[in-house]
């Protein structure tokens, strides 16, 4: 967009140059995960991809992402063929590192393209607001931390999500929106959390007459059905032919994992676990029974090792029921008001519900809320007030992913700079709402943001100075997770009020 400065293209270029400087930075086990997937898809026939288990990091993404890895592997061969050997576990030559880092930057161009389409789709009077929101997504510290240091491909995937949301704005492109989202589901199944919002919106706005739900649009329904089924048939058809669908289910949905991830994602269950931890020393005085076997679990935070010492245990069925229940409310409004703003709000609230109440939620999944919410955060100041604590909590919650000393100034300085720049910009340009605002939420946001600074300092520096490196190492994680959970829950409640009163 030439009329805006800096443009998306200029920011993408500068951001890419900065990310190249991060090539030698810390990389998590996800780096080895994707290297192993490159090797699997390059070295083995397709029918063996979901059975190979030389590495503990087995292929557990849907078939389209496996095909994406296969495409990358064709180029990886010219960078360093050794990275494509399945038995070369934890192989990380500089060629391998540089190749994989570069592919994240290049595939993130999909996000830049999608954001440019988003800005173009907005009415002229609001294009400057859309441009600011787009820059906040493109330069997101969440994507920097998760993709370019920790190592994943979320920028590429969120680009497809944003594109599908943009195409949902007009009746003429609704079909493309549904098909694009189907492709996204076949790339990464975590987006299933948002699928009910798409289902209700496409059914109501594309398959049924807007003026009467009793008048179906048969031809639209056929086109959408054929398009979506074709996508899923292309992705899963070969595996159905080989009778491997059960194997894919086991890989894609490993329900044997525990309620909480190794590091508590900042959701309701983090607050639940924190409350359980606080009740342990108080239980004898309160006459509450304590499960002695669970005492080590509540502090270790290991995968598949979640149990509570005082509070009742949580089952998978309970988390699924709560997630569906809290997704149902925004979907009811979407059914009766199938417009684009309501749809994006419903997508956001479906992301909230799955993140706050889901089973074994990863902290990185907070981007499922932040990215779609960013598209409507500048609708007016009420939306921005609900977005602000989410922006702080969501990004602070990602800090423990980078626990090595060299990355501390990068994650803190970049995130604080982003928060100051964009929250200040959002605050300056967000329109005054037609309905009165809830100023209590503003005061909560201000107090919450103020607390974040000493919390970051304590968890990153002071705790180690007081207790050393190996004592009570889970306490800073617990504080960070619980603090961030409070912000995400507060933001969710605030946005629920905004959504249902808009």
247-264 pLDDT tens trace: 999 999 877 667 776 557
Give the lowest-confidence range in 257-261, 334-338, 447-451, 498-502: 257-261
Exposure of 334 in the CB half-sphere (CA atoms within 13 A) = 26
The total domain count for the chain is: 2
Give the lowest-confidence range in 66-70, 148-152, 435-439: 435-439
Per the structure block, which two tokens stand in for 310? 């005082």
104 with 45, same domain?
yes
Please check whether residue 124 is in contact with residue 132, taking contact to mean a CB–CB distance below 8 angstroms: no
Q: How confident is the model at residue 280 (pLDDT cuts 50, 70, 90)?
A: confident
CA distances from 484 to 111, 193, 202, 345, 389 (A): 26, 21, 34, 21, 9
Query: Alpha helices, DSSP H only, in 243-310?
Result: 245-252, 268-286, 297-300
Average pLDDT of 271-300?
76
353 with 438, same domain?
yes
Query: Alpha helices, DSSP H only, in 168-217?
Result: 174-185, 195-202
SS3 category, 305: coil
Average pLDDT of 107-136?
96
280 domain residue, yes or no: no
305 with 225, same domain?
no
20 domain residue, yes or no: no
247 with 348, same domain?
no
pLDDT for 289 equals: 83
121 with 219, same domain?
yes
1 domain residue, yes or no: no
Give the lowest-confidence range in 24-28, 171-175, 277-281, 458-462: 458-462
Average pLDDT of 68-83?
97
Please check whether residue 322 is in contact with residue 357, taking contact to mean a CB–CB distance below 8 angstroms: yes
pLDDT for 436 equals: 65
SS3 category, 236: helix
170 domain residue, yes or no: yes
**Which residue, chain included where needed, has tokens 């245990």?**
313
Return mean pLDDT, the chain: 90
Please check whether residue 157 is in contact with residue 111, taking contact to mean a CB–CB distance below 8 angstroms: no
Q: Considering the entire predicted model, what is its pTM?
A: 0.94
SS3 category, 453: helix
SS3 category, 260: strand
By residue range, what is the domain housing residue 221? Answer: 25-252
226 with 328, same domain?
no
312 with 211, same domain?
no
432 domain residue, yes or no: yes
11 domain residue, yes or no: no
458-488 pLDDT tens trace: 777 777 777 776 676 777 777 888 889 999 9
282 domain residue, yes or no: no
Q: How confident is the model at residue 300 (pLDDT cuts 50, 70, 90)?
A: very low
pLDDT greater than 90 at residue 151: yes
Which residues contact residue 338 at a Cβ distance below 8 angstroms, ignoring those fewer than 6 apart?
A: 200, 201, 204, 205, 210
Please check whether residue 160 is in contact with residue 180, taking contact to mean a CB–CB distance below 8 angstroms: yes
pLDDT for 121 equals: 95
SS3 category, 215: strand
247 with 299, same domain?
no
416 with 345, same domain?
yes
pLDDT for 440 equals: 59
440 with 326, same domain?
yes
42 with 181, same domain?
yes
206-230 pLDDT tens trace: 999 887 888 899 999 999 999 999 9
Per the structure block, which two tokens stand in for 216? 């179906």
18 domain residue, yes or no: no
248 with 295, same domain?
no
């Amino acid at each position: 967009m030439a009329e805006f400065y800096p443009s998306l293209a200029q920011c993408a270029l500068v951001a890419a140059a900065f990310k190249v400087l991060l090539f030698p930075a810390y990389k998590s086990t996800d780096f080895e995960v994707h290297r192993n997937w490159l090797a699997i898809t390059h070295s083995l026939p397709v029918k063996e991809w979901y059975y190979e288990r030389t590495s503990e990091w087995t292929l557990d993404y849907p078939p389209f992402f496996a095909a994406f890895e296969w495409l990358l592997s064709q180029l990886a061969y010219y960078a360093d063929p050794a990275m494509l050997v399945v038995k070369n576990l934890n192989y990380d030559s500089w060629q391998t590192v540089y190749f994989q880092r570069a592919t994240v930057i290049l595939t993130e161009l999909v996000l830049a393209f999608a954001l440019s389409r988003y800005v173009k789709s907005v009415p002229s009077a609001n294009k400057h607001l859309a441009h600011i929101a787009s820059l906040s997504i493109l330069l997101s510290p969440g994507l920097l931390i998760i993709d370019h240091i920790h190592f994943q491909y979320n920028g590429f995937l969120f680009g497809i999500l944003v594109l599908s949301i943009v195409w949902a704005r007009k009746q003429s492109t609704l079909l493309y929106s549904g098909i694009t989202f189907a492709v996204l589901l076949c790339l990464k199944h975590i987006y299933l959390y948002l699928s009910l919002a798409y289902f209700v919106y496409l059914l109501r706005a594309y398959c049924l007459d807007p003026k009467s739900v009793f008048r179906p649009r048969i031809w639209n329904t056929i086109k959408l059905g054929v398009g979506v089924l074709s996508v899923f048939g292309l992705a899963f058809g070969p595996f159905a032919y080989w009778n491997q669908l059960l194997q894919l289910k086991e890989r894609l949905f490993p329900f044997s994992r525990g309620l909480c991830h190794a590091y508590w994602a900042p959701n309701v269950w983090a607050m639940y676990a924190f409350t359980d931890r606080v009740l342990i020393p108080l239980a004898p005085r309160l006459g509450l029974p304590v499960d002695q076997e669970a005492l080590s679990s509540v502090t270790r935070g290991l995968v598949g090792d979640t149990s509570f010492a005082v509070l009742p245990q949580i089952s998978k069925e309970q988390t699924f029921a709560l997630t569906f229940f809290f997704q149902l409310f925004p979907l009811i409004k979407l059914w009766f008001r199938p417009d684009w703003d309501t749809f994006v709000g419903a997508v956001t609230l479906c992301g909230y519900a799955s993140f706050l109440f889901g089973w074994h939620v990863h902290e990185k999944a907070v981007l499922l809320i932040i990215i779609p919410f960013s598209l409507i955060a500048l609708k007016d100041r009420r939306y921005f007030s609900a977005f602000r604590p989410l922006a702080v909590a969501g990004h602070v919650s990602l800090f423990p992913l980078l626990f090595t000393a060299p990355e501390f100034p990068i994650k803190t300085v970049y995130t604080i700079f982003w928060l100051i720049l964009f929250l200040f910009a959002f605050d300056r340009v967000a329109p005054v709402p037609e309905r009165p605002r809830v100023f209590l939420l503003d005061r909560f946001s201000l107090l919450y943001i103020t607390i974040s600074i000493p919390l970051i300092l304590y968890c990153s520096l002071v705790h180690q100075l007081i207790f050393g490196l190996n004592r009570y190492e889970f306490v800073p994680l617990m504080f960070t997770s619980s603090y961030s959970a409070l912000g995400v829950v507060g933001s969710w409640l605030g946005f629920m009020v905004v959504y249902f009163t808009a």
